[in-house]
Amino acid sequence: MSRQHALLSASSAYRWINCPPSAKLQEQYEDKGSAYAEQGTDAHSLAEWKLRKALGMDVEPDPRDTLPYYDEEMEEHTDDYAAYILELLAEARKTCDDPLVMVEQRVDYSRWVDGGFGTADAILISDGCMTIIDLKYGSGVEVSAEHNPQTCCYALGALDLLDDLYAIDTITMIIFQPRRENISEWTISRDELLAWAEETLRPAAELAAEGKGEYHSGDHCRFCKARHECRTRAEEQISMMRYDCDLPPTLTDAEVEDILGKADQLINWAEDIKEYALQAAIGGKHWNGFKLVEGRSNRRFTDEKAVAKAVTEAGEDPYEKKLLGITAMTTLLGRKRFNELLGKYVEKPRGKATLVPESDKRPAMTDTDFDEIDNEKKGE
């Protein structure tokens, strides 16, 4: 169940396609990993084991006891993942006598990207159609299947592997992201995918392999190891400072729209710089005009059992009773049992109005929506 990663990996394709020289630049930085990545690896291992078992394939021993991040939430979401693919398989069997499911299938897309390979979580082949399913266990950023370079690379590798055996003319990409309750689907024709590979993927890969091309900043910088030091990213964010000399009333609509379109990237960049400078200072670097100080901290008990015993012996109750929140209660009961027992007691108030780009897939609010929010506030 181990996973290897190529220089021009499918998982980083969104970055190196948009910023080709960043691929070589990454080699200068140590891959420190993260708890989030390790948790995702554990979830993929458990999901693979469950899916193989459900499909009647040979499986290794139950991995649960060896997964550091295993918990009830992971148990539930990997169950959902396996069940979802079984549903896709059952649907495929309605029109195909012998559909094929491939689990954790290594795919090679080096026909378009030198040294390019990856591992597709699941591939389903039925009459004329191939479906690529990618499990995303992260809960931070919602991932879309539409024009997703990672799943497109997997699809290309799968085509190269299976094209001589199956007459595939349609490819469906699916992102299964259970912790965001997100299942995103996108379908593309075989010819359209191959055209993208020749017109977009191959040229970007050739530049990236040689460290050539132009640096570009954008959303793809989020997981770049050089994001805190990249000059191109810094110059774009610093260019926003031209607005510092203008009071808000003097800004034109076009200027406000320009700021709105870049504000999130500016905030993220500033936070990256602060974290980089802090870690460098902790490591001994001196920044002119700055110093390390001890932050605020809260008092805490050194021995909670001893504290409880002392207060109890003094005739007082040292504990407070508080109802668990919805997330903690769901973890305690499991989602299915939670819905059965408590679903009727849960409501979801209207969310606070948020300004987002038009590309956001959520529907725009209407006057009726604002009236409902006002009525909810009046009823509080």
Distance CA 39, CA 164 (A): 37
* 242 and 316 both lie in a single domain: yes
**Tokens matching residue 34:** 């993260």
Q: What is the structure's pLDDT at 245?
A: 52
Smallest CA-to-CA distance from 215 within 348, 26, 379 is with 26
* 240 and 187 both lie in a single domain: no
* 24 and 132 both lie in a single domain: yes
Smallest CA-to-CA distance from 171 within 134, 132, 214 is with 132
Note whether residue 154 is domain-resident: yes
* 166 and 232 both lie in a single domain: no
Q: Return the CATH number at 80.
A: 3.90.320
**Tokens matching residue 298:** 């809260």
* 312 and 242 both lie in a single domain: yes
* 50 and 141 both lie in a single domain: yes
Low-confidence residues of the chain, pLDDT below 50? 1-5
Note whether residue 37 is domain-resident: yes
Note whether residue 344 is domain-resident: no
Q: What is the chain's alpha carbon radius of gyration, rounded to the nearest angstrom?
A: 25
* 269 and 301 both lie in a single domain: yes
Distance CA 145, CA 187 (A): 9
* 171 and 84 both lie in a single domain: yes
Interval 15-54: pLDDT, tens: 999 999 999 988 888 877 788 899 999 999 999 999 999 9
Q: What is the structure's pLDDT at 79?
A: 93
Distance CA 109, CA 132 (A): 14
Q: What is the structure's pLDDT at 366?
A: 81
- First CA to last CA across the chain, in angstroms? 52
Q: What is the structure's pLDDT at 372?
A: 62
* 206 and 232 both lie in a single domain: no
The domain of 46 spans 13-210
74 contacts 46 by C-beta, under 8 angstroms: yes
How many Cβ atoms sit within 10 Å of the Cβ of residue 359?
A: 6
Note whether residue 44 is domain-resident: yes
Interval 219-256: pLDDT, tens: 888 888 888 888 888 887 777 666 555 555 667 788 77
**Tokens matching residue 216:** 């570009």
Q: What is the structure's pLDDT at 380?
A: 53
Single out the residue in 160, 183, 210 at which a domain terminates.
210
Give the Cα-Cα-Cα angle 291, 297, 302 (nearest 5 degrees): 135
Q: What is the structure's pLDDT at 4?
A: 40
112 contacts 202 by C-beta, under 8 angstroms: yes
* 251 and 188 both lie in a single domain: no
Instruction: Name, in order, each residue with C-beta under 8 angstroms of 213's C-beta and a sequence gap of 6 or more.
Output: 19, 20, 21, 204, 207
Note whether residue 33 is domain-resident: yes
Note whether residue 260 is domain-resident: yes
Report how many domains make up the chain: 2
* 138 and 259 both lie in a single domain: no
* 48 and 123 both lie in a single domain: yes
Q: At what angle do helices 253-282 and 231-238 cross, to 10 degrees?
A: 130
Note whether residue 357 is domain-resident: no
Q: What is the structure's pLDDT at 375?
A: 59
Q: What is the structure's pLDDT at 376?
A: 57
